[in-house]
Structure 1
């Protein structure tokens, strides 16, 4: 029954994601138009994912169009062996030449090193799943491209030339190890094979310390890591450390996620290392696509119209998730699936994650998860602000979510401003301390807007819908509130979410450690 349901839901995901991308496909050029509708330019990564979906669907001229896309992507691969971006793929085919005076190389802007992994893993999936649909000459060019992308990826060294690829950067690290190991075996390149195995071992060692991904609890990137671990488990031999550990790591990652998942709110409780939103019901996460294949679309954090959600471009990876779901889902245990269906009851979660070289010690994570209220936070000491991604907009070290009367979700997150935080989570309580703070320190609490039935204007905690909040601590009890909206206010949205910013400062001249204690009760 479980397998039949998986097949049905995977087929649904494949169909819906492909139907959406069909509307963007430019058959004349053999690329998808930009999914962000950027003046009829095209984009490479989503086109590659779409090509895999075309092979899976295999109707009409789907195969012909898939091969056209693949050949175009290979043509657009960067081929200068002396450049840092060798073997990477164009972000879009209309772009100028990376490295020219007018288009200088800026990592994660004019070129994105992670696209080697995204495109490379997709090429491997095509070759593994649909070998009979791909002509030999195209296979040869795909293997040449994969070899070049693997060589180029070997140029990446964390801390050198602005690159941040360390084993703790989970999603590209897992992809890097896989492509290197797979291509090395196919091409009989023992050095490449060994490099993949060595890098995978470093990733596994970090995972094994507490059965957690270093890039912890991300709706987007936990999804990518699970996708890449599925490639380890499905395509690598048992003699590989990847083949030996991939299935176990998938099971244990899902076990961790299921403890933090609240099926009533359809959200994974915080903290989140890297998030593109604050409510999974409103932004499209890759993890939610995987939940779709496990429990069905209606029970997953997916809007009936996924393409209307925030961060909708990630719907383009839907075909890959659908293709792998029949295998991947066999590695998810029944206890996890049950938790994705039905909230099991209030409980506390304690775990940790470690991201060297940014963490001075492992981040200690605690979450209290109840039927209609979740509180999660992590204590950390780092050498950067904004987590390993160095991005305060995506790093959410303390998060509260609650259910509202109309079924929507309210949320609160601490905006990252410090390199060290001590957090205490108990039933209904969140305590935040800045050990190295001073009288100039502030706590910025970003609070989501009310539902359509709630107040439009928020002047105090009493105006926040669905929850009662009381405050104690060493902070000045007076606070300032500003609004950050789509079309105005004191600031801009974060990941397209509007919010109210409750800011607490310290009393003038205070010598106490900045401490803020929040108590929550559903009203």
Structure 2
């Protein structure tokens, strides 16, 4: 009882503006509900391009439901059709949903219980499909149930019960941010809608765990991810719009408001990017691949020239399947933060302590320096080897307006500290190892990286190090995504490898990088 009172008090204080983040922003929140007829020219272009890509002209809906098609994407196509609701859309959405519902695992004794296939063939058995497809089906049921046959709604209801029960058995931790937020909603909604008390209670309890974990450091564990921040925004918008529990609605609105401010604090409107480090990232430059956070910002700003998205189709275009989900949930962003997304205001240094259970320190340290035409950030305390982790990055604007970058991936051996003007790279091992530095700087001769001063398009990077460069090579796009989790639409980037000798003094940086514009 005492714990619940403390949590409720924290929610109330957050809503009243007593948190450090809220003290910096206006109490007013800009909200936007979307319908297909009221979409702007730019928003409608994004929406129509997505549907045209999924249902090419002259192709029947049945012929799009192939054995290789993504069931998650097709669920969102159904959602988009119901959102548009023009001639034939209801019927096509019905056909898609009937196909989706046939491809769920419903054996309660199986670990796969309640998930949908990722595709009919070559199924990846992804347990997160319970939350992804389940939450999209809830939106369809909640907003468009009156457009669909009653028999189909009954099938959706049964599938949702299986998904929520499977999510309960899995019991994903609060630190798996994007999935836990959706899982809490899935269980609370299904448990309440169908009178399954233990599911409802489990959903509310998980929501409290997520809220409580966020309050410890005012950050989510899955920190600064251009892709998964966007999924977390979707989950919080589900709490806001469709949760039955007033507790979930209240927590969702408080977290969503705080979370937008955190995103905007790290976002650089000039560079249309967030600095490193990224705890999960599929690219380095948001203008060269599609990220879900980029979709949210593009809708909010409603202007292609300001949007942190590629101008046309490009790598990770499949993330645009989140567009109908976002449109159906609507926008709720602090008015001051919406304004701050439009233009750069001032340089700043930002540091964060992140509660994160990746291998390494339980609290990981983030430091970032954000200036108008360049920025950098680094991570201290991670020992997990994972290419999705961008331990550090520098972004800058090149003379042609494109973004140049430097990145260091999560190799398990590297720690980074950033001050206002210096990035210091450390090793946490005393055995012989290497440091890989990735650089996108077109038309730069290889010899540049053998010097102390790297004269790159738009910036000079001064490198202070005693290490020797052992390798310089070009990494081409076809190898970049699989090996380095860099999907950016660029022809190549450089990989510069330094050799670190055994018994290196780990209290001293192996290299210091100083940007100069």
Q: TM-score, normalised by structure 2?
A: 0.86
Q: How far apart in 1 are the matches of 2:509 and 2:73?
A: 45
Greater helix share, 1 or 2? Answer: 2
**Are 1:499 and 2:489 an aligned pair?**
no
Q: What does 1:19-418 correspond to in 2, within 5 Å?
A: 19-23=52-56, 27=60, 29=62, 31-33=64-66, 41-95=68-122, 110-157=124-171, 165-237=172-244, 239-240=246-247, 242-296=248-302, 297-305=304-312, 307=313, 309-325=314-330, 329=331, 331-356=332-357, 358-382=359-383, 385-386=384-385, 392-418=386-412
SS of equivalent residue, structure 2 residue 95? helix
Shift of 1:166: 2.1
Aligned 8 A contact 2:113 2:166 in 1: yes
Aligned 8 A contact 2:80 2:324 in 1: yes
User: How many positions carry a matched residue from both structures?
Assistant: 476
Aligned 8 A contact 1:424 1:432 in 2: yes
Distance 1:198 1:90, change over 3 A: same
Cα distance per residue 1:431-470 (max 9 Å; x no partner): 1222x322513221111241xxx33656526363322122
Shift of 1:211: 2.1
Q: 1:15 aligns with which of 42, 48, 66?
A: 48
Shift of 1:28: 5.3
Q: How far apart in 2 are the matches of 1:372 and 1:214?
A: 28
Shift of 1:48: 0.2
Q: How far apart in 2 are the matches of 1:488 and 1:360?
A: 31
Cα distance per residue 1:16-57 (max 9 Å; x no partner): 322322229963537545xxxxxx732211000100000001
Q: How far apart in 2 are the matches of 1:113 and 1:293?
A: 29
SS of equivalent residue, structure 1 residue 371? coil
Shift of 1:487: 6.1
SS of equivalent residue, structure 1 residue 360? strand
SS of equivalent residue, structure 2 residue 361? coil
Deviating more after overlay: 331-340 vs 223-232: 331-340
Tell me the equivalent position of 1:432.
425
Shift of 1:509: 5.9
SS of equivalent residue, structure 2 residue 159? helix
5+ long unaligned stretches in structure 2: 1-29
Q: How far apart in 1 are the matches of 2:408 and 2:351?
A: 19
Q: TM-score, normalised by structure 1?
A: 0.85
Aligned 8 A contact 1:229 1:247 in 2: yes
5+ long unaligned stretches in structure 1: 34-39, 96-108, 158-164, 387-391
Shift of 1:338: 1.6
Shift of 1:378: 1.9
Shift of 1:478: 4.2
Q: How far apart in 1 are the matches of 2:213 and 2:198?
A: 23
Distance 1:488 1:213, change over 3 A: closer
Q: 1:455 aligns with which of 444, 449, 458?
A: 444
Distance 1:222 1:465, change over 3 A: same
Aligned 8 A contact 1:263 1:343 in 2: yes
Q: How far apart in 2 are the matches of 1:315 and 1:266?
A: 18
Shift of 1:15: 2.6
Aligned 8 A contact 2:188 2:244 in 1: no
Q: CA RMSD in A?
A: 2.6
Aligned 8 A contact 2:61 2:92 in 1: no
SS of equivalent residue, structure 1 residue 428? coil
**Are 1:482 and 2:473 an aligned pair?**
yes
Cα distance per residue 1:252-273 (max 9 Å; x no partner): 1111111111111110111111
Q: How far apart in 1 are the matches of 2:282 and 2:105?
A: 29
Q: How far apart in 1 are the matches of 2:121 and 2:225?
A: 32
SS of equivalent residue, structure 1 residue 366? strand
Aligned 8 A contact 1:31 1:44 in 2: no
